[in-house]
Structure 1
Amino acid sequence: MKTYTRLQLLSLLIITSLQLSAQPETKNIAFTRERLSFDNGWRFHLGDIPFPIIKGHGTTYANAKAGRAWGAAAPDYNDKNWRLVNLPHDWAVEQPFDSTANVSQGYRPRGIGWYRRNFKLDTSDRGKHLEIQVDGVATHCTVWINGTVVHRNWSGYTSFYIDMTALAKYGNEVNNIVIRVDAVNQEGWWYEGAGIYRHTWLVKRSPVHIMTDGVFAHPVKNSNGSWSIPVEATIENSGSATTDYEIEVTLFDKEGKQVVKGNATAGVKALGHSLAKLTLPVSNPALWSIENPALYKVKTVVKRNSVLYDSLITTCGFRTIRFDADSGFYLNDKRIKIKGVCNHQDHAGVGVAVPNSIWDFRLKKLKEMGVNGYRCAHNPPAAEFLEACDRVGILVMDENRNFNSSPEYIRQLEWMVRRDRNHPSIILWSVFNEEPMQGTEIGYEMVRRMSSVVKELDTTRPVTAAANGGLFSPRNVTQAVDVVGFNYQINAYDPFRKAHPEMKLTSSEDASGLMMRGEYKNNKQQHLIEAYDTQWPVWGANHRTAWKVVAERAFLAGCFVWTGFDYRGEPQPYEWPTADASFGIMDQCGFPKTAFYIHQAQWVENKNILHVVPHWNWPKDSIGKNIRVMALSNADRVKLYLNGKLLQDSPVDKYEMNTWQVPYQPGKIEAVSFKGGKEVARFAVETTGDPVSVQLIADRETIAGEGWDAVPVTVRVLDAKGRAVENANLPIEFEISGPGNIIGLANGNPNSHEAEKGNKRSLYNGLAQVILQSKAGSLGKLVLTAKSKGLKDAVVSITVTDAPKIPMVEVAN
């Protein structure tokens, strides 16, 4: 054992003991912290319930007192006829489309809704610190606990934490929580959903405990090449007396072996807090990278005389990041071009109430395409999403929702940084997106203040802002950020670089290419957009040009394409009945469009990529007429064959790819790619017969039986030879048996008004998606059957596996 003097605590120097070992964590500590899911058993009412009009003096007097809420906020309000729902819940995705509703919200009515829930606390909870945590409510909400207003939240993207200790009832007394959600107004210009759409929790802790989001573990590479991990822990005391305590910090590697331990003693006043700062040396840590995202666990323990008060596990990663004005971005001193996408947070079938496992599914699809970066547009994401980015190795730009330097919005910004600053995936804090004041002194002053707030909490990452104008104004936001973000400023890259060679630059949003999956002819009457990368709005560019401009400029750190997935709302260039945006590289389900294969060919370096579009099922009157054919490849040359006859032998332009006009003949069109004169890949598209059977393909063969896990299932139809019919648009009906439910259906068609809940969905250009979710505490086989008139049924069986039960707060009557 070695002893170091390294801890600064409340500006006092104290002695720190460090232990270096390779032993697994000891198991004989009794943890007191409980984090219980609060998601199950809520009563929901769609529509407002006006408060009773109060006129009498006695009732007016009572209404002004704590614990005396009226109407639907009253603890004893009769909600037995309300709908029973589990969270996360998005009521907007359940609504029918309405041409009079807001176009940017995807023509989905939103409105007002009420949630209520009863629960009990054991008498043993008396004296504990009790906190309700709500991860996200769209959009504004008011919260009552036991008849008292305890919180008002004004952003649909920030979590909030409610200390309910003073209002708690114990034993047989029932506690009541009510949340009125007002989703009438919008924060954004895209689909935002409505309701309590992220997870909720009840956290029980000792009076002396680690504050929520109170641990900051940020590994540092020192100037001499060694590594250390400074750890800051904010300790709160909700008790009635000043308490001395010992803080112990232990670092564990990815195998769970102890790497280093440190401890110190300090004190915290009653109803106060203290900040402990502890630095631990670490020898030769495994580095977090895109290819090998090594993660470590920091265990922070608060105790006194061997009695445990609190314990918290925090994930972190060892890595260095650096932006350079001349050569872009470096991860672990390795130059990397950021190949990123921007995304909103809704998914097909479920709206914004996205199951945790669907984040993994979406990131898997992006990684398959060659993506290494992700911009959270235009708001902080779900915590589970960032955890997934840490696991899979994705570089994240975390973005603030509201551009405002007044106290309420500064609190929102502080929350984002506190919650997210331990994630190694995050490389940039973005304080705004496309603000009218970005080229003014006011905008500069606002960014200057917001940047200062960020750096009070985290100095390890640069601050950026996604600006789409005002870059050359005498006073503008670029002068107040660390990295300048360009939105759709292709023509400004070079002149801005010439004017400001010292500034670090990245494209923060580009392209906005428009296409619809499986469509290969524009049709204004039917609102169809061809998938040849030929359509884009006036502010944007096609995918190939946008990447070429970034790739050829070393001073640009990289790009973030708008967008990785289609999303509801903001339809372009058509509106009603079109309800969804078509900017995505993939559709809402995650089915690839042509842009997917363009970027895959541009971005993937470690495998041979070759794909051919379009399908080869054209009407008889198309015979002899030219069909545009694209071969998307990262090879040197591509040969194109039709029914075995060589049509083309062309070099590959690594940005533009290959496009030819081919007179249509039924049969097989095939591309063969070559590197260094050697064949490396083949890809063929064939004319198929009529559909004869349905096929179901589950993304995974197993699903955890804890009630949260979800799996997407792809639906398509096959001809007699087992080939997928890519232009089929048949209706499909579904049946489910076993321990699970259908929670969403979709097909990626931005013009479709079919319901996303239920058991029916049509294919769109050959594909549809069904999302299944397990039931809590279940085991067995979850069986999905798909039927279409005149076709052979399809059946897929998913094994529901035993999984640890998610601790939950029981519902009280």
Structure 2
Amino acid sequence: MYGKGQGKRIMYLCDEKVREKQNFNLDWYFYHGDNQIQTGQTQVSDYEPVKLPHDWSLYYLWKEDAPSCGSGGYAETGIGWYRKIFDVNPHAFTKGRVFIHFEGVYMLSTVWINGHKLGQHVYGYTPFEYEITQYLHEDGRENVLDVKVDNSAQPGSRWYSGSGITRNVWLVKTSDTYIAPFGVGIQIPGIEEDKAHISVEISLAHAEDKKLSVQTTVFSPDHEICLELCTDRKGETNTLHQQGIIGTPLLWEVDAPFLYEAVTLLYDQDTLIDEVHTFFGIRTAVFDADKGFLLNGRQVKLNGVCIHHDGGCMGAAVPLPVWKRRLEKLKEMGVNALRMAHNPPDSALLDLCDRMGFLVMDEAFDEWHYLKGKELGSNTHESHGYSLWFDTCHEEDLRTMLLRDRNHPSIILWSIGNEVPDQTAPEGYLTARHLKCICKSIDPLRAVTQANDQIAAEPRAAREEFLNELDVVGYNYVGRWRTRAETYYDEDKRNHPSWCMIGTENSGLGGMRGRYLFGMEEKAGWWMRPYYSAPIEVGRLLRYTMTHDYVAGDFMWTGIDYLGESHWPNRSANAGVLDTCGFAKDSFYFYQSIWRRDIPVAHLLPHWNMDVDQGTILQVLGYTNCDSAELILNGKSYGKKAYSYPDYGMTQTYGHFDKEPIPVNTDNLFLGWDVPYEPGYVELVGFKDGKEVVRDRVETAGEPYAIKLNCYQDTLAADGLDVGQIEIAIVDEKGRLCPQSEQYVQLSVEGAGELIGIDNGNSASHESMKGSGIHVSAGQAFAVIQSTGSAGKCVVRVEAEGLQSAGIELSFTKHR
């Protein structure tokens, strides 16, 4: 059910380094139930072997009466117990300290080591750790770590949260005196033409009255030493500061995300006692009331999307390669900014954003003092949420997020909340001020926002004193109320010219891949519009955002479909441009046609296997960034069309245009033709300067004939954790995707890998994401194969009744 059996136990912390951080994800056991477990015991007969990260919610079927309701995706929750039996090198804790570090446990975790209770942590999205030195066995006996996870207070989230130890766990060894967790903070207070000023803060733990010194060496992106700093501790201070200058710095940019590395060494007189490595980038990130957002002094429009923390069939326990594949696709679409909605993300995801050049809005909370309803899809339960814990937990959780994330150059904006009801409360501004002060105390350079959904709302609007507390005013659904559907930010810009403004959340096109609505459907929601009208409203705001400098940008809802926030029979939300499999929808190309002006784009919809009578008039849409485009159906032209974005006036003298004007048909950001449906093919031909530059062709596919497989990265690490991702397609005899296919596919895996997830992107599918087969949706499905820990080949075969089967080989190696 949860993976192959456990192998030989590892002896942990055998390295002689002064600091050792060892992955602790393998060889765990899991029990789902609310029985009171006797901690510190080695018996695991009632447990299942698992690997971390682990999300138990997806190992059970979706249920309409699940306490998590539609908000939580109708998923299983409850209480779970984890146990790990392990050995530690005795020298590790007789000469120093040992800590257990959790990057995220959802939620309300309690931890014991060898029967000793270490503590409790509530929030499922912030890291925490405990020192376990004094409780480890010194006589060679096995050590037992027990973790209780309580996610039974349901519904407890407005989206799928997952349940369990959903992020990495580490075992850490240090000296008696050491650099505190997240204890190195690096800031760039100023950049001049040929140099950058750097400030380093180092926080120490258990320093006592020792004579200590800190040496920091900075390495350039080319691995050359570019700065050395040395500071002696004065008195009994536990915080040291260093300043220096880096000459001719390589700036961190979206298209060139250069990273520096700081190596911080802590000495007790002449003895090295700790070593910490910190990656950072050199850049400035400024929000301006008139120019929007400036990166390194250059105006950059934030072409952003919101993303949730789940990974489709991986639930909340998402391997990094799954994120990498998804982010590469978003980058291809033209995305340069990500909003981490609505909680601190996995730190590995932020590392990826640093390396890939994404700009990030890092968000702390979805609730402050006021509870939000979570009965979406059901109305039979009392809601729960972080507001129940806010007073006791928010300072620690916010500080932890800030300390953990402050060195990431990708982060340009702290968000202290999302759509909190406090924005309309008389005292809400005081909470906003308090949270902002915490942010500034740790990071005075970055701006602070809150995603407000009640600006100009009725009957109660966000209060002006609340919005005035924010460095950047965040707008969720800026065109929702009255005339703002046309004017958007105009009124607030007139009344508050000093405000910096950004769209923190606004509607995307939505919809399910391969499915085309012809009208408004009952219970679908007012935001689910027909495919031919959805891009009209979205396009109006997109055009406004792109052409008004003072609007820093927009985070479209959402980049990727996510579990939860749904109505039965749906168990996930269809808001993304990528579905839960990571497959692109038509809307992907809508945004690409606006955000990517460096490549020619042409995309047609709908597909040409529509279930309508021949001769039915269909609206065929074309997404393109060309000067004009021509539609051709079975060899017959339906004419050229053009739209007016981006529109430019005269230059230099009256009547002079840098580019010859062409007739346009629409102000929309797409083209449309009314076409009688007839099987065959339809083409969109894009022209620039009168010449064809791109062509998209959609053909009527024949009957399903075969299975086609594609693997994202087929050479992988044999570490028990790395994953391969298999894209499954049903094709006809000519190799064309069959969008009409919903056949069942069965997977088998042999060798050094195991199947750990399967999905089809269909939000109404109730098939298990942890099974061995699934019905494809619109001709496609997706599977994740994980290393067993052994080196060697892994063969994945996919079969379907009446179709040619397919196989693909993955290679797991110990030396990758």
Deviates more, 1:403-412 or 1:645-654: 403-412
**510, 515, 532: which one aligns with 2:511:** 515
**682, 685, 698: which one aligns with 1:685:** 698
Q: What letter is aligned with 1:798?
A: L
**1:497 match:** 493
Are the aligned partners of 1:533 and 1:543 in contact in 2 as well (CA < 8 Å)?
A: no
**1:141 match:** 109
**1:197 match:** 166
Measure the CA separation in 2 of the matches of 1:531 and 1:427. 36
Q: Shift of the alpha carbon at 1:265?
A: 1.9
Q: Shift of the alpha carbon at 1:331?
A: 0.5
Are the aligned partners of 2:418 and 2:452 in contact in 1 as well (CA < 8 Å)?
A: yes
Measure the CA separation in 1 of the matches of 2:266 and 2:176. 11
Measure the CA separation in 2 of the matches of 1:280 and 1:741. 50
Are the aligned partners of 1:155 and 1:187 in contact in 2 as well (CA < 8 Å)?
A: no
Deviates more, 1:158-167 or 1:745-754: 158-167
Say what the alpha-carbon RMSD is for the aligned residues.
Answer: 2.1
Aligned pair 1:462/2:431, yes or no? no
Q: What letter is aligned with 1:266?
A: R
Secondary structure in structure 1 of the residue aligned to 2:293: strand
Q: Shift of the alpha carbon at 1:723?
A: 1.5
**543, 550, 568: which one aligns with 1:576:** 568
Q: Shift of the alpha carbon at 1:77?
A: 6.4
Measure the CA separation in 2 of the matches of 1:414 and 1:526. 41
Are the aligned partners of 1:30 and 1:308 in contact in 2 as well (CA < 8 Å)?
A: no
Q: Shift of the alpha carbon at 1:542?
A: 4.3
Q: What letter is aligned with 1:498?
A: R
Q: Shift of the alpha carbon at 1:802?
A: 3.0
Q: For residues 174 and 801 of structure 1, do their structure 2 counterparts lie closer, same or farther at Cα, with a shift above 3 Å needed? A: closer
**646, 650, 674: which one aligns with 2:641:** 650
**2:394 match:** 409
Q: Shift of the alpha carbon at 1:73?
A: 4.1
Aligned pair 1:85/2:50, yes or no? yes
Deviations 1:507-549 (A, max 9, x none): 100015431110123584897967726359xxxx843233123
**1:252 match:** 219
Q: What letter is aligned with 1:559?
A: D
Deviations 1:28-50 (A, max 9, x none): x9731111111111221101113
Aligned pair 1:162/2:130, yes or no? yes
Deviations 1:3-37 (A, max 9, x none): xxxxxxxxxxxxxxxxxxxxxxxxxx973111111
**762, 765, 786: which one aligns with 2:798:** 786
Q: Shift of the alpha carbon at 1:761?
A: 1.2
Are the aligned partners of 2:712 and 2:724 in contact in 1 as well (CA < 8 Å)?
A: yes
Measure the CA separation in 1 of the matches of 2:82 and 2:164. 9
Are the aligned partners of 2:368 and 2:422 in contact in 1 as well (CA < 8 Å)?
A: no
Q: Shift of the alpha carbon at 1:733?
A: 0.6
Secondary structure in structure 2 of the residue aligned to 1:755: coil
Question: What is the TM-score when the length of structure 1 is the normalising length?
Answer: 0.88
Q: Shift of the alpha carbon at 1:280?
A: 2.0
Aligned pair 1:556/2:551, yes or no? yes
List aligned pairs for 1:591-610, cutoff 5 A: 591-610=583-602
**1:735 match:** 748
List aligned pairs for 1:282-681, cutoff 5 A: 282-401=246-365, 402-403=367-368, 406-470=391-455, 475-490=464-479, 491=484, 492-522=488-518, 524=521, 532=531, 534=533, 542-571=537-566, 575-619=567-611, 622-654=613-645, 655-681=668-694
Measure the CA separation in 2 of the matches of 1:631 and 1:360. 29
Measure the CA separation in 2 of the matches of 1:643 and 1:464. 52
Are the aligned partners of 1:323 and 1:557 in contact in 2 as well (CA < 8 Å)?
A: yes
**2:185 match:** 216
Q: Shift of the alpha carbon at 1:468?
A: 1.1
Secondary structure in structure 2 of the residue aligned to 1:599: helix
Q: Shift of the alpha carbon at 1:626?
A: 1.1
Q: For residues 505 and 475 of structure 1, do their structure 2 counterparts lie closer, same or farther at Cα, with a shift above 3 Å needed? A: closer
Secondary structure in structure 1 of the residue aligned to 2:304: strand
**1:153 match:** 121
Are the aligned partners of 1:639 and 1:647 in contact in 2 as well (CA < 8 Å)?
A: yes
Deviates more, 1:75-84 or 1:729-738: 75-84
Q: For residues 407 and 100 of structure 1, do their structure 2 counterparts lie closer, same or farther at Cα, with a shift above 3 Å needed? A: closer
Q: For residues 466 and 526 of structure 1, do their structure 2 counterparts lie closer, same or farther at Cα, with a shift above 3 Å needed? A: closer
Are the aligned partners of 2:211 and 2:269 in contact in 1 as well (CA < 8 Å)?
A: no
Secondary structure in structure 2 of the residue aligned to 1:360: helix
Q: What letter is aligned with 1:645?
A: K
Deviations 1:397-437 (A, max 9, x none): 00012425735211110000000000000000000111112
Are the aligned partners of 1:287 and 1:294 in contact in 2 as well (CA < 8 Å)?
A: yes
**96, 100, 112: which one aligns with 2:61:** 96
**1:48 match:** 34
**2:72 match:** 105
Question: What is the TM-score when the length of structure 2 is the normalising length?
Answer: 0.88
**27, 30, 33: which one aligns with 2:19:** 33
Identity of matched residues, %: 34
Measure the CA separation in 2 of the matches of 1:221 and 1:325. 21
Aligned pair 1:716/2:729, yes or no? yes
Q: Shift of the alpha carbon at 1:506?
A: 0.5
Are the aligned partners of 2:709 and 2:726 in contact in 1 as well (CA < 8 Å)?
A: yes
Secondary structure in structure 1 of the residue aligned to 2:314: coil
Q: For residues 406 and 499 of structure 1, do their structure 2 counterparts lie closer, same or farther at Cα, with a shift above 3 Å needed? A: same
**1:63 match:** none
**1:8 match:** none
Measure the CA separation in 2 of the matches of 1:39 and 1:292. 33
Deviations 1:568-620 (A, max 9, x none): 1111xxx211111111111111111121111011111211111111111235x
Secondary structure in structure 2 of the residue aligned to 1:385: helix
Measure the CA separation in 1 of the matches of 2:502 and 2:156. 26
Q: For residues 785 and 530 of structure 1, do their structure 2 counterparts lie closer, same or farther at Cα, with a shift above 3 Å needed? A: farther
Q: What letter is aligned with 1:175?
A: N
Measure the CA separation in 2 of the matches of 1:443 and 1:722. 59
Measure the CA separation in 2 of the matches of 1:748 and 1:476. 43
Secondary structure in structure 1 of the residue aligned to 2:550: coil
Are the aligned partners of 1:440 and 1:475 in contact in 2 as well (CA < 8 Å)?
A: no
Secondary structure in structure 2 of the residue aligned to 1:120: strand
Measure the CA separation in 2 of the matches of 1:359 and 1:796. 22
Q: Shift of the alpha carbon at 1:799?
A: 2.4
**113, 125, 129: which one aligns with 2:97:** 129
Measure the CA separation in 1 of the matches of 2:21 and 2:502. 40
Measure the CA separation in 2 of the matches of 1:198 and 1:522. 42
Secondary structure in structure 1 of the residue aligned to 2:563: coil
Aligned pair 1:118/2:85, yes or no? yes
Deviations 1:72-114 (A, max 9, x none): 1431363333111111000001111111111111111201111
Deviates more, 1:521-530 or 1:330-339: 521-530
Measure the CA separation in 1 of the matches of 2:718 and 2:533. 45
**1:176 match:** 144
Measure the CA separation in 1 of the matches of 2:573 and 2:463. 36
Secondary structure in structure 2 of the residue aligned to 1:219: strand
Identify unmatched segments of 5+ residues in structure 1. Answer: 1-28, 51-71, 805-813
Q: For residues 535 and 449 of structure 1, do their structure 2 counterparts lie closer, same or farther at Cα, with a shift above 3 Å needed? A: same
Measure the CA separation in 1 of the matches of 2:531 and 2:700. 20
Q: Shift of the alpha carbon at 1:441?
A: 3.2
Q: What letter is aligned with 1:118?
A: I
Are the aligned partners of 1:706 and 1:803 in contact in 2 as well (CA < 8 Å)?
A: no
Deviations 1:308-334 (A, max 9, x none): 211111010011111110110011111
